Amino acid sequence: MIDILPTELLLDIIRLACCDGGPTACSLQLVSRTWKVLTETHKFHSVALAGGPQQIRSFMGAFEASSEASRNNLRHICLTTARTNERYVLHRYLLKDFLSAVAPTIETLVFATDNVSNGNDIAIVLKWIHFPRLTHLKLAVPRIKIIANHPPQFPRLTHVHLAVHHPSSLADTHNSLAQLLRIPCSESLISIRLSGVTLTEPDTADFFSSLFDFEGEEELDTDAPLLPPCVVKYIVQVCENEPAVTAQPDCALIIRMNEELGRVRFRLLPPAATLKEQDWKDAWLQVQSGERDIEQDWRDLR
């Protein structure tokens, strides 16, 4: 059958088949020499890794030994990290080596972990690496804290979703993300989503005023950076059992003012349970197969 099908049709079939994170491409490589040649440039198009050190090392060995065409066709990465007994610093630098190898070509990156050390690792590593083509970034970590000066590393990033497992204030979560992505300097970022945050802190109203660029009667005591003009959508999903923001009159008033006068479309989503690592991978696989819109996380869902 393969001998009678046009090469162009076979390549289209392979391209559509190799969107499950790697298993199909690896299987097709073993069919025959012809299939190995045909699938060579598509085998790394989308890659999903469970994140154990051995799996990452095995991938890097295969990736570095492959053709330039194969490496240049890598576009989508989903990395979920497993708990490991290896030393903290070793894992951080292994993660840095991995992301440095894939950073030049990837367009989407999902990183999900319930391990505190690995969550800290990704925040530290990302500020070291330049991602010239990355447009969509999702980070699901226990918490994130970044205070550092570094050059902007994401010149084409348009969508970011940060989900924290350990409830953290909206202001703290936003400020850490702003430090990591250099949000005030961005010229491409369109949509921001923060999940798992709390809104009960006394300074939440001041933070909203600063975020939406509304000046109050008193000087705002907040270090929250303003959003650049390119950001048009800001979505917040509070953690489970978080009281409704409508219970805080000052916050509710500022949100209503922004709906009437602001330029940023703000959406507050209802509380939801923390997603597991497999949930993030499943959603990523649905995007790769075309079953889920790549921008679904940033839709105006109520």
**Is 21 a domain residue?**
no
- pTM for the model stands at 0.86
Q: Greater confidence, 196 or 245?
A: 196
Domain that residue 161 falls in: 75-293
**Is 59 a domain residue?**
no
**Is 171 a domain residue?**
yes
Segment among 108-122, 134-148, 217-231 with least mean pLDDT: 217-231
pLDDT over 70 (residue 4): no
Residues linked to residue 194 through DSSP beta bridges, in sequence order: 162, 236
At residue 218, the pLDDT reads 46
Q: Are 225 and 178 in contact (CB under 8 A)?
A: yes
Domain count, the chain: 1
Q: Greater confidence, 39 or 182?
A: 182
**Is 46 a domain residue?**
no
Neighbour tally for 227: CB within 10 Å: 22
**Is 270 a domain residue?**
yes
Separation of alpha carbons 149 and 27, rounded Å: 44
